[in-house]
Amino acid sequence: GQRQIVDCDVFIAHCADLNRAKHICEQAGYDFDARFMEYFLLGVIDVTIFAQTALAAAEAVGLGGCMIGGARNHPFELAKVLGLPPLVFVAFGMTLGVPLWEKVPPQRPRLPLDGVVHRETYDDAGLDRTHAAYDQLSREMGMYGKRRIDLVERVPGWQERTPEGQYGWIEHSARRWIDPAARRLDIRPFLDQQGFGFE
């Protein structure tokens, strides 16, 4: 039901695929045991690297795209539509097409490097300062003015507490993390059905 998916020229389902690893092992005469988290991570990392590279290549020739995490909202149904075998699942989708440049919003600034890069050891001492500065910038630019997340229906007892004009990156990000819909609780049963059965 997302408009950007309906309207895009191409929608790509990027799948983590351990079915291929299973076939390779069987061709060599070995059993493949997919229960290990490392194999799951390898599948997700590989498809993510591929997708990001594909998007960069598309953008280099004037196309546009967007990664779609919502492709994990209905994993059972999507696997059936795509005819996915065991050990394969959609990690995320990607819209791809010719952008309507007049409707493309300006690129948002990224968090400063000191908020995401650590040298030698992890150091979060400056995160509050970095986050507050970025939050202020997001409010000044109106980055989330029309994207306010309302949790009244999904979080028991939740009440709006952010005044108009004060809704920024911190509040938006926090609401995304606490939104029960973001947990996609049917992913684990789906992965079990697909044969992952984590150890």
- Which helix (H) or strand (E) segment holds residue 10: the answer is strand 10-17
d(CA 48, CA 117): 20
Q: What percent of the chain has pLDDT over 70?
A: 100
d(CA 129, CA 123): 13
DSSP code at position 69: G
List, for residues 116-153, the tens digit of each pLDDT value.
999 999 999 999 999 999 999 999 998 888 889 999 99
**Cβ proximity of 108 and 141 under 8 Å:** yes
List, for residues 145-183, the tens digit of each pLDDT value.
888 999 999 999 999 999 888 999 999 999 999 999 899
d(CA 99, CA 176): 27
In this prediction the pTM is 0.87
d(CA 199, CA 186): 18
User: Phi/psi class of residue 181: alpha, beta or left (left: φ > 0; alpha: ψ in -120 to 50)?
Assistant: alpha
Region 99-103: mean pLDDT is: 84
Q: Mean pLDDT in the chain?
A: 93
**Cβ proximity of 172 and 147 under 8 Å:** yes
Instruction: Categorize the per-residue pLDDT at 52 as very low, low, confident or very high, splitting at 50, 70 and 90.
Output: very high
**Tokens found for residue 166:** 């004060």
Largest Cα separation within the chain, whole Å, is 64
- Residue 199, pLDDT above cutoff 80: no
Instruction: Categorize the per-residue pLDDT at 19 as very low, low, confident or very high, splitting at 50, 70 and 90.
Output: very high
Region 26-52: mean pLDDT is: 96
Nearest one of 149, 170, 168, 169 to 160, comparing CA atoms: 149
Instruction: Categorize the per-residue pLDDT at 106 as very low, low, confident or very high, splitting at 50, 70 and 90.
Output: confident
Q: What is the pLDDT of residue 121?
A: 95
